[in-house]
Structure 1
């Protein structure tokens, strides 16, 4: 009764929901602290009433590109402004090394 109809247009940006299960590795993520959503990805076309084909990256080429509407979440904002973690020097455990720039006082 509390469901709402979700509808996406072609070229919309969406997040893909992955189900974190204990001991199961999907999309290269494993464990309880893995993210619930990955993306954003662009919708290429609509297939039927409730399925969409999304543009997956090369590292996810082994995953089938068609997903049910319940597995997608609308991306709010500009997805081109998202900063990649590769250029920031962030490690796999999301930590970084503090580097002092200048000592101000002794």
Structure 2
């Protein structure tokens, strides 16, 4: 029995990576029914698997963390297990610049007509 347990432990150790976070780090939160986030957000087919960019407020245990949740997720408990979190590595390409939109005085948008060529469709 001990031999089988040690063999299974060695298989598991190859796959698992220990995750630890520090206070003040930013993380993503997994959207699953077990976290409750899946119930708080309408789950649809193309929703992202991870949401947010949340800050870790406190490390409760090596596997439990308290995170800062926004107001629309205030109905959730703010403590999560480490398997529900994903580390965020800062990258300048993650920042999206909003495009400016011209709005007329009558609150309409300028539309440019597009011509579709029917000859290419067979």
TM bracket (short chain): 0.5 to 0.7
Structure 2 gap ranges (5+): 1-11, 102-108, 113-122
Tell me the distance in 1 between the aligned counterparts of 2:47 and 2:111: 28
Provide TM-score, normalisation by structure 2: 0.60
Superposition CA RMSD, Å: 3.0
**Does residue 31 in structure 1 map to residue 44 in structure 2?**
yes
Structure 1 pair 77–15 and aligned structure 2 pair: CA distance change class (3 A) = same
Give the equivalent residue in structure 1 for 2:65.
52
Structure 2 match to 1:75:
88
Unmatched 5+ stretches in structure 1: 90-96, 101-106
Runs of 4+ in 1 over 6 A off after TM superposition: none
Match of 2:28 in 1: 15
Secondary structure, in 3 states, of the residue corresponding to 2:72? helix
Instruction: Tell me which protein shows more helix as a share of its residues.
Output: 2
Partner residue in 1 for 2:54: 41
Question: TM-score of the superposition, structure 1-length normalised?
Answer: 0.68
User: What is the count of residue pairs matched by the alignment?
Assistant: 87
